[in-house]
């Protein structure tokens, strides 16, 4: 096997690696700025996924609900899907069929899937699991800057910053090579400030750790801005020259005096003062958010409050400074730019914009009126499945909502109520195992395409190994179904041809890829969007001259703290927050099949403070029953003083009775439609054991 340069299949850092040898070996690449020769444990073991023993290598199908999955031929599986699709749409309308995608799909597959929904199926019912990732940050940045793009500049800007405020992110575990840039900054004398209810591995490296009550980040941000005003740290000239709306924000934050904010958040006033001074003292400062600030029923407003702070300090639009969001999934950025979201068309166009619809109609060769309008967001779509007014069938690509969606038991019920569930996957995930038809798909190293990392840099993922006989790519599956449904237009199975169509589709949009080619990506090591022409250099720092609003100015938006959608009470007296651990990834469908990762993190757990454990009669290693108003999970206790006394933490990577998302609250942000994964009310008690099994 020749050596093939490519990128890691996991997070949005998209670390560079080379695959080669027999068996396949992973070697980190030094020429990719994101990781500079480093990999985490998941990256080092990524090749083991290619040979997992339960790999699916042929289609599977049930004769009827309740019957076992049996091997079948591709024609038989695809013919059944097409026939059932036609029958259900004839009986119930176009929206009887839904599509659910994933933030790990390449740009080509995400684009083609969105096109398939709108052109072949003509359904409005499409969304993707990226709605659960950074949709609140996207909504907030669109509101503030007129455009959403992860980091405000190349990741190497972090290493030369003077101060970074990281809110709700544990990058030491979720994307370890990212820490090199923070360490570089600290080595130059820069300050790292971390906001997290837990003293995580990242917080332990911070110069200052703010440990708020879950769900109070908005109050903290408003309090920090109040202090910046009272201490004369805001940049009045920048505010006047480059922004609108500050007067209303000034009025609101006047109500967030330090003592009040300390009572709401639990963060001491001296720590707040120090954080503001560290941010304001330097020429280059950044505010970064991750899921801890975003996965709330008011997540858009939480991020907006932090953007208000960044704008008041004059950070966005200055080289090396600004606000940024740490994208989680491998293609969480590109995956939402090109048509998987219910309300968007390729190029980050709004689906209800007549000009956007006309452009896409021209690219696709269809009538603009045939393109459906906005559909349901991810959780709303999952909740509607199989209901009287909801979709009767779901086509699922690259997602495992039985583990990843909130209120998971209800999601299982809705999937089981469908007339038809189709899953395209390489293993029988917890969701695929419930499907009526399972289509085996190629893995990350078995196909080519592009990914857009957290910097907004478009990268090449290259085919390095031959896929097993009987396995198809997602592009081949989509093309075959489009053919059976007599869909108009061209449905290429060649990623390069699909990317060329994507370029035309995105031209003139906010996320303009029209000037990006495979050849340029190869030559330059990636290209930053927007890139509106092949002679355009790309845009590593998009807001240096102007913001993306028509007047070129950023917008302040006043926001108020209202607390979590579900607060603690006598029945459920403890806050639950969820998150990730180093050795696992997302729903665990991939990492729970890799032996070294399973050995490193074999099971879920609940992290709680020793004082809370003592009050509840729980000892380290005990089985604990954690209950919310939605369900109960049983996990092992892990005692640590690194978490607040009133808060417990459960990682969400596991299936079965230890699923964190059996407990989480599906309350949705009104703008982003993000569920409130990061805080809900629970109670804990020791779990009895019957015949050695926790009950």
pLDDT tens track for 500-547: 999 999 999 999 999 999 999 999 999 999 999 999 999 999 999 999
Check if the beta carbon of residue 449 is closer than 8 Å to that of residue 436. Answer: no
Q: Which residues contact 84 (CB under 8 A, 6 or more apart)?
A: 393, 419, 420
Asked if residue 693 has pLDDT above 70, the reply is no
CA 262 to chain centre: 31
Give the pLDDT band (50/70/90) at residue 437: very high
Percent of the chain surpassing pLDDT 90: 94
Average pLDDT over residues 349-354: 96
The number of domains in the chain is 4
Same domain, 266 and 387: no
**pLDDT at 282 (0 to 100):** 84
Burial class (CB in 10 A: 0-12, 13-18, 19+), 492: middle
**pLDDT at 444 (0 to 100):** 95
Q: What is the domain extent for residue 258?
A: 135-325
The angle formed by the CA atoms of residues 469, 592 and 456, to the nearest 5 degrees, is 80
Same domain, 243 and 109: no
Same domain, 139 and 127: no
Check if the beta carbon of residue 252 is closer than 8 Å to that of residue 222. Answer: yes
CATH code of the domain containing 128:
3.40.50.740
Asked if residue 198 has pLDDT above 50, the reply is yes
Strand 647-651 relative to strand 574-579, pairing: parallel
Whole-angstrom Cα distance, residue 225 to residue 323?
Answer: 15
Phi, psi of 684 (to 5 degrees): -125, 150
Mean pLDDT over all residues of the chain? 96
CATH code of the domain containing 288:
3.40.228.10
Q: Residues 159-190: pLDDT tens digits?
A: 999 999 999 999 999 999 999 999 999 999 99
Prior bond to 640 cis, omega within 30? no
Same domain, 172 and 265: yes
Residue 59 lies in a domain: no
Same domain, 232 and 376: no
Prior bond to 219 cis, omega within 30? no
Check if the beta carbon of residue 89 is closer than 8 Å to that of residue 98. Answer: no
Helices (H), 386-530: 401-404, 408-416, 474-484, 495-506, 518-524
Asked if residue 1 has pLDDT above 80, the reply is no
Residue 13 lies in a domain: yes
Residue 290 lies in a domain: yes
Same domain, 399 and 255: no
Residue 613 lies in a domain: yes
Asked if residue 689 has pLDDT above 60, the reply is no
Same domain, 175 and 198: yes
Check if the beta carbon of residue 545 is closer than 8 Å to that of residue 318. Answer: no
Same domain, 252 and 139: yes
Give 308-358 as a 3 state SS string. Answer: HHHHHCCCCCCCCCEEEECCCCCCHHHHHHCCCCCCEECCCEECCCHHHHH
CA 439 to chain centre: 24
Same domain, 294 and 430: no
Check if the beta carbon of residue 183 is closer than 8 Å to that of residue 309. Answer: no
Whole-angstrom Cα distance, residue 76 to residue 84?
Answer: 12
CATH code of the domain containing 35:
2.20.25.90
Residue 550 lies in a domain: no
Residue 66 lies in a domain: no
Same domain, 169 and 124: no
Check if the beta carbon of residue 316 is closer than 8 Å to that of residue 322. Answer: yes
Whole-angstrom Cα distance, residue 338 to residue 347?
Answer: 5
Q: Residues 143-157: pLDDT tens digits?
A: 999 999 999 999 999
The angle formed by the CA atoms of residues 169, 548 and 275, to the nearest 5 degrees, is 35
Same domain, 178 and 269: yes
Q: What is the CA radius of gyration of the chain?
A: 24
Whole-angstrom Cα distance, residue 522 to residue 6?
Answer: 11
Give the pLDDT band (50/70/90) at residue 327: confident
- Domain final residue, candidates 325, 347, 381: 325
Residue 355 lies in a domain: yes
Same domain, 307 and 356: no
Reported for 566-569, long-range contacts at CB under 8 A and 24+ positions apart, including other chains, are 566/629, 566/665, 566/667, 566/676, 566/679, 566/680, 566/681, 567/681, 568/646, 568/681, 569/681
Residue 246 lies in a domain: yes
Nearest partner of 207 among 164, 178, 177, judged by Cα: 164
On the CB side of 419, how many CA atoms lie within 13 Å of its CA?
Answer: 20
Mapped onto helix, strand or coil, the DSSP state of residue 684 is strand
Whole-angstrom Cα distance, residue 631 to residue 411?
Answer: 12
Q: Which residue has the tokens 């991810």?
A: 378
Can you read off the two tokens belonging to residue 647? 């808060």
Can you read off the two tokens belonging to residue 66? 């309740």
What is the pTM (predicted TM-score) of this model? Answer: 0.96
Asked if residue 688 has pLDDT above 80, the reply is no
């Amino acid at each position: 096997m020749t050596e093939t340069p490519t990128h890691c299949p996991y997070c949005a850092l998209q670390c560079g690696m080379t695959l080669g040898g027999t068996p396949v070996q992973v070697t980190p690449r030094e020429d990719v700025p994101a990781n500079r020769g480093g990999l985490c444990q998941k990256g080092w073991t990524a090749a083991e996924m290619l040979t997992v023993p339960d790999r699916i290598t042929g289609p599977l199908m049930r004769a009827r609900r309740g019957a076992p999955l049996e091997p079948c031929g591709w024609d038989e599986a695809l013919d059944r899907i097409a026939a059932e699709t036609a029958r259900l749409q004839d009986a119930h309308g176009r929206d009887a069929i839904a599509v659910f995608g994933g933030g790990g799909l390449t740009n080509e597959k995400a684009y083609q899937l969105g096109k398939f929904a709108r052109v072949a199926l003509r359904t409005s019912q499409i969304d993707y699991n990226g709605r659960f990732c950074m949709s609140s940050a996207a909504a907030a940045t669109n509101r503030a800057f007129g455009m959403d793009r992860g980091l405000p500049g190349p990741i190497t800007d972090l290493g030369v910053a003077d101060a970074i405020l990281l809110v709700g992110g544990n990058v030491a575990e979720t994307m370890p090579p990212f820490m090199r840039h923070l360490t570089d900054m600290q080595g130059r004398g820069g300050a790292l400030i971390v906001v997290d209810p837990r003293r995580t591995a990242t917080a332990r490296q911070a110069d200052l750790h703010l440990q708020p009550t879950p769900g109070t980040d908005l109050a903290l941000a408003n309090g920090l801005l109040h202090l910046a005003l009272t201490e004369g740290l805001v940049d009045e000239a920048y505010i006047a020259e480059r922004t609108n709306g500050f007067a209303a924000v000034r009025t609101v934050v006047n109500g967030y005096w330090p003592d009040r904010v300390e009572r709401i958040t639990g963060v001491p006033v001296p720590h707040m003062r120090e954080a503001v001074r560290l941010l304001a003292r330097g020429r280059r400062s950044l505010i970064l958010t991750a899921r801890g600030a975003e996965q709330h029923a008011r997540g858009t407003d939480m991020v907006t409050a932090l953007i208000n702070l960044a704008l008041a300090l004059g950070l966005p639009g200055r080289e090396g400074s600004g606000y940024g969001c740490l994208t989680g999934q491998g293609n969480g950025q590109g995956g939402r730019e090109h048509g998987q979201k219910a309300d968007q068309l390729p190029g980050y166009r709004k689906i209800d914009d007549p000009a956007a619809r006309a452009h896409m109609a021209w690219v696709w060769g269809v009538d603009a009126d045939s393109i459906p309008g906005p559909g349901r967001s991810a959780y709303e779509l999952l909740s509607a499945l199989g209901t009287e007014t909801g979709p009767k069938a779901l086509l699922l690509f690259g997602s495992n909502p039985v583990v990843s969606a909130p209120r998971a038991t209800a999601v299982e019920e809705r999937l089981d109520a469908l007339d038809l569930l189709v899953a395209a996957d390489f293993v029988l995930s917890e969701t695929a195992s419930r499907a009526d038809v399972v289509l085996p798909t190629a893995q990350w190293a078995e196909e080519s395409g592009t990914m857009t990392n957290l910097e907004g840099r478009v990268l090449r993922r290259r085919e390095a190994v031959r896929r097993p006989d009987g396995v198809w790519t997602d592009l081949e599956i989509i093309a075959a179904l489009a053919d059976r449904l007599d869909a108009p237009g061209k449905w290429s199975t060649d990623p390069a041809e699909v990317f060329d169509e994507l370029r035309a589709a995105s031209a003139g949009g906010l996320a303009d890829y029209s000037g990006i080619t495979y050849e340029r990506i190869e030559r330059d090591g990636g290209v930053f969007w927007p890139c509106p022409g092949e002679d355009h250099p790309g845009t590593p720092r998009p807001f240096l001259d102007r913001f993306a609003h028509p007047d070129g100015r950023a917008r302040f938006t006043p926001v108020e703290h209202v607390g979590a959608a579900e607060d603690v009470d006598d029945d459920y007296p403890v806050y639950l927050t969820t998150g990730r651990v180093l050795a696992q990834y997302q729903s665990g469908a991939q990492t729970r099949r890799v032996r070294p990762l399973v050995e490193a993190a074999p099971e879920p757990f609940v992290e709680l403070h020793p004082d809370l454990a003592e009050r509840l009669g729980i000892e380290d290693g005990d089985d604990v029953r954690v209950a919310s108003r939605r369900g109960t999970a049983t996990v092992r206790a892990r005692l640590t003083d690194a978490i607040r006394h009133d808060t417990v933490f459960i990682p969400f990577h596991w299936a079965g009775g230890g699923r964190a998302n059996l407990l989480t609250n599906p309350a949705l942000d009104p703008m982003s439609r993000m569920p409130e994964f990061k805080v809900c009310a629970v109670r804990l008690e020791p779990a009895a054991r019957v015949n050695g099994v926790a009950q």
